[in-house]
C-alpha cells in the first residue's frame, strides 16, 4: 500500500466511524480534526482514534489500553490480538458508554 492509498482508506474509516457514532443511538460526543477522532462519553472518558501515516496504521487509545491496526485482507486488524477493527471499537465503545453499542461500516 502506498501513502495515497493509506490516507484514502484511513480517512474513509474515520468518516465512517463518525457516521456510525452519530447513528448508534447513544449520546457520544465526537470531534474529528487532522486525522484524529476523539470520542467523549458521559462519564468524561475518551477514546482517541488517530492516523499513524508513517506506519500506515490506525491507533486507538481507550480508557483501558491502546491498539494498533494495520490494513490486511480488506480489513483493519489489531496487530496485538489480530481482532477486526469494527468488533474491537464496538466492544470498546460499549464498555466506556456503559451500554451495548454495535458499530459497523
Q: What is the pLDDT of residues 50-92, one digit of tens each?
A: 999 999 999 999 998 899 999 988 899 999 888 999 999 999 9
pTM of the model: 0.90
Query: Which phi and psi angles does 18 have, rounded to 5°?
Result: -55, -45
Eight-state DSSP code of residue 83? -
H-helix or E-strand spanning residue 77: strand 75-78
Quick one: fold of 3-97? Metal Transport, Frataxin; Chain A (3.30.920)
Cα 69 from Cα 37, distance rounded (Å): 15
Amino acid at each position: 500500500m502506498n501513502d495515497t492509498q493509506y490516507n484514502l482508506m484511513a480517512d474513509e474509516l474515520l468518516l465512517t466511524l463518525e457516521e456510525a457514532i452519530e447513528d448508534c443511538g447513544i449520546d457520544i460526543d465526537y470531534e474529528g480534526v487532522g486525522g484524529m477522532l476523539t470520542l467523549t462519553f458521559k462519564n468524561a472518558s475518551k477514546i482517541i482514534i488517530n492516523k499513524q501515516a508513517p506506519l500506515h496504521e490506525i491507533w486507538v487509545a481507550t480508557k483501558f489500553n491502546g491498539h494498533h491496526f494495520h490494513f490486511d485482507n480488506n480489513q483493519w486488524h489489531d496487530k496485538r490480538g489480530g481482532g477486526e477493527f469494527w468488533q474491537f471499537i464496538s466492544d470498546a465503545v460499549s464498555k466506556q458508554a456503559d451500554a451495548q453499542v454495535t458499530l459497523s461500516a
